[in-house]
Amino acid sequence: MKIAAIGSGNMGGTLGKRWAALGHQVMFGSRDPHSQKIKLLLQDAGTNAQAGTIREAAAFGEVILLAVLPDDVERVLAEAGDLKGKILINCTNRYDGKSADAEVRRLAPNAHVVRAFHTLPWEVLADPRYDAGTAAAFLSGDDPAATATVAHLISEMGLDPVEVGVPDGMAQVETAVGTLWSVLAPRFGREYSLSVLRR
């Protein structure tokens, strides 16, 4: 697929590199696509990756990962332009009590927004292998085809896509995952994962 990563930091850089390695065509959308940071990222990502402006990346991607800090979401989505019909993966988190999901849906009303990857630290996305079990990647979206596409991208990366309801189911999952994080991360570090066993 043609995938744009807008934001080329921990999340955008990590996921973009992994998607390029899996054979997808990736464009990093950056404030400065010619920076030294982007040059190094492209060296790591290989021949399936390129870089452009935020607007160019948004036009390129069938799937667009929004991976910027909360304060930059509004400006970046304005710069991206109309995302009509595109799949917009929202991995952004806010810690001010406002809903990152609601904000992105409001700012990108024509996109098929899928909430995903926001419950996992970038280190696990870079390497999700564990000796036993598969890490759960919770996702939700109101367009079934868009959600299925993102679920496929998640499985391809070696994670277990666990779909939860929109929007209340995900809000509850986020609260639960956050509560567990405050107890488990001090004990096990950032790279522990949750698994959802089901039958």
- Chain positions contacting ligand NAP, by CB under 6 A: 7-12, 30-31, 67-70, 72, 76, 91-93, 118, 121-122
What is the distance of C-alpha 195 from the center of its chain? 19
**Residue (9 or 158) nearer to ligand NAP, CB:** 9
**Least distance (Å) from ligand NAP to the CB of residue 93?**
4
Beta bridge pairs of residue 51: 28
Residue that has been written with the tokens 């810690």 in this structure? 95
Closer to ligand NAP by Cβ: residue 70 or 167: 70
- The secondary structure of 97-134 as a DSSP string is SS-HHHHHHHH-TTSEEEEESTTS-HHHHH----SSS-
Q: How far apart are CA 93 and CA 98, in angstroms?
A: 9
Identify which of residues 121 and 199 has a Cβ nearer to ligand NAP in the complex. Answer: 121
Give the nearer residue to ligand NAP in terms of CB position, either 163 or 174: 174
Closest residue by beta carbon to ligand NAP: 9
**Least distance CB 199 / ligand NAP (angstroms):** 29
Whole-number minimum distance, CB 90 to ligand NAP, in Å?
9
**CB distance 26 to 5 below 8 Å:** yes
CB of 92 to ligand NAP, least distance (A): 3
The H or E element that residue 77 is part of is helix 73-80
Least distance in Å: CB of 105 to ligand NAP? 15
Decide: 66 and 104 in contact? Cβ < 8 Å: yes
Given the complex with ligand NAP, which of 85 and 99 has the nearer CB atom?
99
